[in-house]
Chain A
Amino acid sequence: MRHRKAGFKLGRNPASRRALLRGLVTSVIEQERVITTVTKAKAAKPLVDKMITLAKRGTLHARRQAAAFLQTPGAVRKLFDKLGPRFMPRNGGYTRVVRLGWRRGDGAEQAMLELVGSELVKRAAERRRRREERLKAMREGREPEESEKN
């Protein structure tokens, strides 16, 4: 029985679940917001909050604990240099999950997991332009030249 065993299993074994969540948490810290399924957002949210708590502590030990979980050194730097000070006046509730509706294809409900107080960066137009360029290149039979990753 799984009585009182809290948490989300996400249909994965422990290792791939941990890898998935580490990736999500790293992305949230680097990008401020991430779109994923509601369940994955809810699973990652407490972990992001814990990382910010570590950042607010700010000790060398806390930094090493965060570095042991996050997947890029850049995320650790941003966490301790930017997010720690930014969330100093706030006691918990550093992140927010907003439901977005259902994904085409498999009908999974999507959500946005974001750091409270982050602004929306308008990128949709730019992304669409790049996608069209890529499609055009493919139609003309050339190899799409690899522009900078989004």
Chain B
Amino acid sequence: MANPKRRHSQRRTNNRRAHDALRAAGLTECPNCHEPKLPHRVCPHCGTYKGREVIEVEEE
């Protein structure tokens, strides 16, 4: 069976993972209520999308 010939150092591991960082999702401003929202999704705050798509949101 194939086996590692040499010890795999922490440095090697960490260097490989140097490019694995997660990036925060970009947010856009809702044109209706000016809250931040995810792009290409209905605004969870006011329930609008592209000016009219409405999902009912509890107002209070």
CB-CB contacts below 8 Å: A74-93 with B: none
Report if A112 contacts B (CB, 8 A).
yes
CB of B41 within 8 A of CB of A99, answer yes
Question: Which residues of A are found within 8 Å of B38, using beta-carbon distances?
Answer: 101
Q: Measured between alpha carbons, how far is A112 from B56 in the docked complex, in Å?
A: 12
Q: How many residues of B sit at the interface, in one of the four size bands?
A: 10 to 19
CB-CB contacts below 8 Å: B14-55 with A: 38, 40-42, 44, 49, 53-55
CB of B40 within 8 A of CB of A99, answer yes
CB of A100 within 8 A of CB of B56, answer no
Q: Measured between alpha carbons, how far is A124 from B40 in the docked complex, in Å?
A: 24
16 new A-B contacts at CB < 8 Å, known A98-B42, A112-B53: A98-B41, A98-B49, A99-B40, A99-B41, A99-B42, A100-B41, A100-B42, A101-B41, A101-B42, A101-B44, A112-B42, A112-B55, A120-B54, A122-B56, A123-B56, A124-B56
CB of B41 within 8 A of CB of A120, answer no
Chain A residues with a Cβ closer than 8 Å to the other chain, count: 9
Q: Measured between alpha carbons, how far is A101 from B42 in the docked complex, in Å?
A: 7
A-B pairs, 8 with minimum CB distance: A124-B56, A99-B41, A120-B54, A100-B42, A98-B53, A98-B49, A101-B44, A101-B41
B9 to chain A, nearest CB (A): 36
A98 to chain B, nearest CB (A): 5
B60 to chain A, nearest CB (A): 12
Q: Measured between alpha carbons, how far is A101 from B56 in the docked complex, in Å?
A: 14
17 contacts between A and B (CB under 8 A): A98-B41, A98-B49, A99-B40, A99-B41, A99-B42, A100-B41, A100-B42, A101-B42, A101-B44, A112-B53, A112-B55, A120-B54, A120-B56, A122-B56, A123-B56, A124-B56, A124-B58
